Amino acid sequence: MTAELKNDRFLRALLREPVDVTPVWMMRQAGRYLPEYRYTRAKAGGFLSLCKNPELACEVTLQPLERYRLDAAILFSDILTIPDAMGLGLYFEQGEGPRFRKTIRTEADVAELTVPDAATDLDYVMAAVKEIRSALAGRVPLIGFSGSPWTLATYMVEGGSTKDFRYIKQMMYSTPEVMHALLDKLAQSVIAYLNEQIFSGAQAVQIFDTWGGVLSGPLFQEFSLRYMKQIVDGLIREREGRRVPVILFTKNGGQWLEVLADTGANAVGLDWTTNIDDARRRIGDRVALQGNMDPSTLYAPAERIRAEVADILARFGSGSGHVFNLGHGIHQFVDPEAVKVFVDAVHELSARYH
Amino acid sequence: MTAELKNDRFLRALLREPVDVTPVWMMRQAGRYLPEYRYTRAKAGGFLSLCKNPELACEVTLQPLERYRLDAAILFSDILTIPDAMGLGLYFEQGEGPRFRKTIRTEADVAELTVPDAATDLDYVMAAVKEIRSALAGRVPLIGFSGSPWTLATYMVEGGSTKDFRYIKQMMYSTPEVMHALLDKLAQSVIAYLNEQIFSGAQAVQIFDTWGGVLSGPLFQEFSLRYMKQIVDGLIREREGRRVPVILFTKNGGQWLEVLADTGANAVGLDWTTNIDDARRRIGDRVALQGNMDPSTLYAPAERIRAEVADILARFGSGSGHVFNLGHGIHQFVDPEAVKVFVDAVHELSARYH
């Protein structure tokens, strides 16, 4: 588990330390666009069974590293493991998003929830982290992750995916104290969960705030950002003699980069609607930036993919502090060959900036 | 049709002329949250039949004005009337978004499309505009509208609603010249369509760029903004001795307010993720602002709704140039009583700023 790290570009860039080329990974890099992933998922008996099987979760985590020269691995798991461990009964239906058997709508519902014991209630996640670290053998660092409290709460209150966020916004506006009680329990749970991932071997962590962007600025700060800051404050920041960087990623959060950078996180993830040169001007003196090519660019011809990579690298400019990524998870219909073009382009075209 | 306009607050605010109180209307104000709307829609035999029946479209357009002291009426119609008139075969399935029987994917598909004759191919829309103007009898102004070329194109290329914009982004990246040919035809169509609405009686027009926000900044400018500017340049800007203001609304466009203001439009619509005080600082010297309360606030108790209205009014501050609105269409499950609280609060609480 403590094999020497052979490629630490990703960790160095997150800490804005010098690197030879810009590191790159992709959100959802172990996913449906890879035929070998679809094979393993079928073998596991579905997505959730795959998440709960440490051996197969390890297998799919490593699959994209076999194909591409990625600079980090990310734990294969789901963002909704915490509410599942709280007893909400996560399940997936064919062609649908995630669903919960039980929803959280009232003060009594929130009062009944208990913070899971990460080591025991989420032991399958920790087993996967350990197995992946061991299998990586120091090749690249392993990223752990969690959903943000606000994002987890949206699924718990709505009972699954939603487009209009009806019930959670009702709760937020009508009984803000209940909303805060739920978010506080979730923040405590995420702290324990991520720290246990770090103890188990995660070398950096990312908080996915997928739905922070559906709030107004003031309500984003009150109901999402505040709890992400609580998490950042509660995390173990050094382990195995190295710093453990924290990345915050709020989808559609381009208007709130300054307050995201003020949380004390090491890096802020950008979706593709923000120009990375503007982002660097705004917060690049305080944090590293991660992103931000539109995942749909991977549908383009090779030359166009390379041109988009070149444009983003030029916009970021010289020096460290950039982890290349897509601005959101890779789409399932992308050709695996296009990913190779993308990853190689980042390394090849970024050398001149370092 | 040329009855004297009794309440011109809305038009005056769009031109940043003095008003007594801040005008207010709501996107999708004639909609499913109203029981009388659901009754008329059932009578019409569904949403599309309602759009195509000028008498009933007029009836539902006026329904919210009977209940609330709104300062504008908006034509009841669908954003996809243009592609339907181009022969794509628009239909709606229970619980689904809009669908087209024919999709536009190739250069040949685009070449075959012809710009509709707005007066004849979309005669039912013009008949509705005339009927509504006559029924309004000068009570409040009537807003005409269209989808933006990029937004129309997303539905035409994907064949309906989409989450990942796979085919249109493939077209944009792989054959940008085909994409531009489609967008140019759509821009010509929208110009003809909105001008015909203005000839028929629309006193202001809004362009709904629902999906401009899924693009990166540079691609937004190339594939959405450029064609909205083409439309603004092609519109009749004066009629019946009054100016006809143009409003651009790009959902998730908060990062691009400056370039939206540079198009020559009179007003820019804001969704609720942008703080209206920041927006006024950025572009308020050039255009009026429309928005921007989160529609979900209407799920809140009355006092909270009033507090949110007060906050937005205070952020905008003194003087004209603000049309109050929601940041997106009103949700179907909102209690009609909450809307009364909202509309009355805007008038009551805004007087002190004028």
User: Is A155 part of the annotated catalytic residue set?
Assistant: yes
pLDDT at B94 over 80: no
pLDDT band at A124 (very low <50, low <70, confident <90, very high): very high
pLDDT at A316: 98
Buried residues in A327-350 as b, exposed as e (16+ CB within 10 A): bbbbbeebeeebbebbbbbbbebb
> Of A9, A12, A16, A41, which residue is the catalytic one?
A41
pLDDT band at B3 (very low <50, low <70, confident <90, very high): confident
Interval A28-52 mean pLDDT? 97
Interval A181-201 mean pLDDT? 98
At residue A250, the 3 state secondary structure works out as: strand
Fold category of A9-353 in CATH? TIM Barrel (3.20.20)
At residue A183, the 3 state secondary structure works out as: helix
Give A95's contacts in chain B (Cβ within 8 Å).
Answer: none
Interval A265-282 mean pLDDT? 98
User: Is A32 part of the annotated catalytic residue set?
Assistant: yes
Q: Residue A174 and residue B300: Cβ atoms within 8 Å? A: yes
At residue A238, the 3 state secondary structure works out as: strand
pLDDT at A97: 87
Give B216's contacts in chain A (Cβ within 8 Å).
Answer: 272-273, 275, 294
Interval A34-61 mean pLDDT? 97
Q: How far apart are CA A136 and CA B286, in angstroms?
A: 57
Interval A170-179 mean pLDDT? 96
pLDDT band at A322 (very low <50, low <70, confident <90, very high): very high
Q: How far apart are CA B236 and CA B267, in angstroms?
A: 16
Considering chain B, what is the average pLDDT of its residues? 97
Q: Is B315 on the interface with A (CB under 8 A)?
A: no
Interval A76-91 mean pLDDT? 97
Interval A108-122 mean pLDDT? 98
Q: How far apart are CA B78 and CA B147, in angstroms?
A: 9
Interval A131-136 mean pLDDT? 98
Gap from B105 CA to chain A (nearest CA, Å)? 14
Q: Which of A96-100, A115-119, B21-25 bottoms out in mean pLDDT, i.e. has the lowest?
A: A96-100
Neighbours of A295 (CB within 10 A): 22
Considering chain A, what is the average pLDDT of its residues? 97
Which of B27, B223, B273 should we substitute to test contact with A (largest number of A Cβ atoms within 10 Å)? B273
pLDDT at B1 over 60: no
Residue of A nearest to B302 (CA): A174
Gap from A232 CA to chain B (nearest CA, Å)? 24
Query: Torsions phi, psi of A244, nearest 5?
Result: -110, 100
pLDDT at B99: 96
Interval B315-323 mean pLDDT? 97
Closest listed residue to residue A140, CA positions, set A72, A63, A239, A198:
A72
Residue pLDDT, tens place only, B142-190: 999 999 999 999 999 999 998 889 999 999 999 999 999 999 999 999 9
> Of A33, A37, A68, A155, which residue is the catalytic one?
A155
pLDDT at B253 over 60: yes
Give A254's contacts in chain B (Cβ within 8 Å).
Answer: 254-255
Residues A351 and A307: beta-carbon distance below 8 Å? no
Q: Residue B174 and residue A272: Cβ atoms within 8 Å? A: no
**Four-residue CA torsion sign, A64, A69, A74, A75:** positive
Q: Residue A255 and residue B274: Cβ atoms within 8 Å? A: yes
Q: Residue A169 and residue B274: Cβ atoms within 8 Å? A: no
pLDDT at A157 over 90: yes
Helix (H) or strand (E) holding A323: strand A322-326
pLDDT at B15 over 70: yes
Residue pLDDT, tens place only, B212-241: 999 999 999 999 999 999 999 999 999 999
Q: Compute the C-alpha angle B70/B76/B78, nearest 5°.
A: 135
Can you give the pTM of this predicted structure? 0.95
pLDDT at A94: 76
Nearest to B296 among A169, A252, A274 (CB): A169
Residue of B nearest to A307 (CA): B173
Nearest to A299 among B173, B218, B300 (CB): B173
Q: Is B203 on the interface with A (CB under 8 A)?
A: no
Interval A107-118 mean pLDDT? 98
Residue of B nearest to A305 (CA): B173
For chain B, the structural domain boundaries read 9-353
Residue pLDDT, tens place only, B106-122: 999 999 999 999 999 99
Q: How far apart are CA A117 and CA A114, in angstroms?
A: 9
pLDDT at B2: 67
Strand-pair partners of A236? none
> Of B16, B41, B280, B306, which residue is the catalytic one?
B41
pLDDT at A1 over 60: no
> Of B67, B69, B78, B278, which residue is the catalytic one?
B78
Measured CA to CA in angstroms, residue B326 lies from B27, B289, B339 at distances of: 7, 12, 11
- The 3-state secondary structure of chain B, one letter per residue: CCCCCCCCHHHHHHCCCCCCCCCECCCCCCCCCCHHHHHHHHHHCCHHHHHCCHHHHHHHHHHHHHHCCCCCEECCCCCCHHHHHHHHCEEECCCCCEEECCCCCCHHHHHHCCCCCHHHHCHHHHHHHHHHHHHHCCCCCEEEEEECHHHHHHHHHHCECCCCCHHHHHHHHHCHHHHHHHHHHHHHHHHHHHHHHHHHCCCEEEEEECCHHHCCHHHHHHHHHHHHHHHHHHCCCEECCEECCEEEEECCCHHHHHHHHCCCCCEEECCCCCCHHHHHHHHCCCCEEEEEECHHHHHCCHHHHHHHHHHHHHHHCCCCCEEEEECCCCCCCCCHHHHHHHHHHHHHHHHHHC
Closest listed residue to residue A165, CA positions, set B47, B226, B331:
B331
Q: How far apart are CA B248 and CA A193, in angstroms?
A: 45
Gap from B78 CA to chain A (nearest CA, Å)? 20
B-facing residues of A in 2-21 (CB < 8 A) are none
Nearest to A217 among B252, B273, B301 (CB): B273
Chain A / chain B CB contacts < 8 angstroms: 89
Pairing of strands B238-239, B242-243: antiparallel
pLDDT band at A2 (very low <50, low <70, confident <90, very high): low
**Checking phi first, is residue B143 left (phi over 0); if not, alpha (psi -120 to 50) or beta?**
beta
Residue of A nearest to B311 (CA): A218
CA atoms within 13 A of residue A322's CA, in its CB half-sphere: 29
Closest listed residue to residue B23, CA positions, set B13, B32, B31, B15:
B13
pLDDT band at B96 (very low <50, low <70, confident <90, very high): confident
Pairing of strands B98-100, B90-92: antiparallel
